[in-house]
Amino acid sequence: MGLFRKKKKETNKWVKCKRCNETFYIEELQQNYWICPNCGNYFRVSAKERIKLTADEGTFKEFDSRITTKDPLNFVDLKPYKDRIKDAIAKTGIKEAVVNGTCTIDGEPCVLSVMDFSFLGGSMGYATGEKLIRAVERAMRLRIGLVIISASGGARMQEGILSLMQMERVSAALSLLDKQGLPYISVLTDPTTGGVAASFAMLGDVIIAEPKALIGFAGPRVIEQTIGKGLPEGFQRSEFLLEKGFIDVIVERKDIPKYIGKFLRYFSNNVKK
């Protein structure tokens, strides 16, 4: 058994860029870090692909892979929540919107948690929060740094207050990590919004963002409709947030492992073993 359950054989080997409408062979995009060779658009990538791009080859060891979400409210909208969960598992090959593991990044040991937007919009349900808390606890037990790569639409509405509660619980766990002097590196990708942006995603000792990633609480359209006026150009994109001091650095996708390694090495000098 591999890291992820095998999905059905992929038949479509071509991918169209949503920005420039050019079509590319999927292997060409993989070799280019899932960035459009024509216009530079960053494609959203799965947790599996993100781990390949970030962790040192062959070092990632997943834990808590069997944790999955339940349906505590017996929620039904256009379809039962239970069916949405089954569809998400079948689509992604993972059981929850975040994947945990230990690995090395640029030679530095760490716990790595990667969110997957293709699993119910990367939304944070109870199980998602539980996995993130366990990642924090694993980092404390091993006395190593924590890296969380966020890609999320926010809290999962189908779980109501149980989802919102996890914002506080994950943040509280991170405060314990901080008290032990262990580093937390937060990496923000497109999109990082809602309850995730309002909690753990913005609590890193260092906050890294990919170029032009959408980062914020409410979406731009919601804000415009609420205040009745337009927003500044590039509002809630990485570059705007860097200018306003909300993030620390914008890093090209191919360089992210090098930056994470550099920050982990810097903080590790201050960690008491």
Q: Are residues 29 and 149 located together in one domain of the fold?
A: no
pLDDT over 70 (residue 8) = no
**Per-residue pLDDT at 4:** 53
Higher-pLDDT residue of 174 and 4 is 174
Domain presence at residue 231: yes
Asked if residue 139 and residue 162 are part of one domain, the reply reads yes
Residue 72 and residue 54 share a domain? yes
Q: For residue 49, tell me if it sits in a domain.
A: yes
Residue 122 lies in a domain: yes
Domain that holds residue 125: 45-268
In this model, does residue 221 exceed pLDDT 80?
yes
Residue 148 lies in a domain: yes
Give the pLDDT mean for 153-178.
96
pLDDT of residue 5: 53
Q: Are residues 210 and 96 in the same domain?
A: yes
10 has pLDDT over 90: no
pLDDT at residue 271, rounded to an integer: 63
* pLDDT of the residue at 233: 86
pLDDT band at 1 (very low <50, low <70, confident <90, very high): very low
Residues 22 and 90 in one domain: no
pLDDT at 11: 52
- Does 88 lie in the same domain as 30? no
Is residue 200 domain-shared with residue 173, that is, in the same domain? yes
Counting the structural domains of the chain, the total is 2
Secondary structure (DSSP) of 10-73: P---EEE-TTT--EEEHHHHHHTTTB-TTT-PBPP--HHHHHHHHSPTT--EEESTT-----TT
Look at the block and give the residue holding tokens 């937060």.
186
- CA dist 122 and 115 (Å) reads 6
Q: What is the pLDDT of residues 12-59, one digit of tens each?
A: 689 999 999 999 999 999 999 999 999 999 999 999 999 999 999 999
Q: Domain holding 253: CATH number?
A: 3.90.226.10
49 and 19, same structural domain? no
How does residue 220 score in pLDDT terms, banded at 50, 70 and 90? confident
Q: Express as a percent the part of the chain with pLDDT over 70.
A: 94
CA-wise closest residue to 87 among 47, 130, 48, 118: 118
Kindly provide the b/e burial profile for residues 179-201, where b requires at least 16 CB atoms within 10 angstroms of the residue's own CB. eeebbbbbbbbbbbbbbbbbbbb
Per-residue pLDDT reduced to its tens digit, 122-145: 999 999 999 999 999 999 999 999
Confirm whether 4 is domain-assigned. no
Query: pLDDT, tens digit, for every residue of 54-108?
Result: 999 999 999 999 999 889 999 999 999 999 999 999 999 999 999 999 999 999 9
Considering the domain boundaries, does residue 218 fall inside one? yes
Residue 245: its pLDDT value, please?
A: 97
Q: What is the band of 177 on the pLDDT scale with cuts at 50, 70, 90?
A: very high
Task: State whether 224 and 264 are in the same domain.
Answer: yes
pTM for the model stands at 0.93
Whether residues 113 and 183 fall in one domain: yes
My answer on whether 53 and 172 are in the same domain is yes
Asked if 26 and 63 sit in the same domain, the reply is no
Instruction: Identify whether 6 is part of a domain.
Output: no
Would you place residue 268 in the very low, low, confident or very high pLDDT band (cuts 50, 70, 90)? confident
**Residue 222 pLDDT greater than 50, yes or no:** yes
Mean pLDDT for the chain overall:
93
Q: pLDDT at residue 253 above 80?
A: yes
| Domain assignment of residue 273, yes or no | no
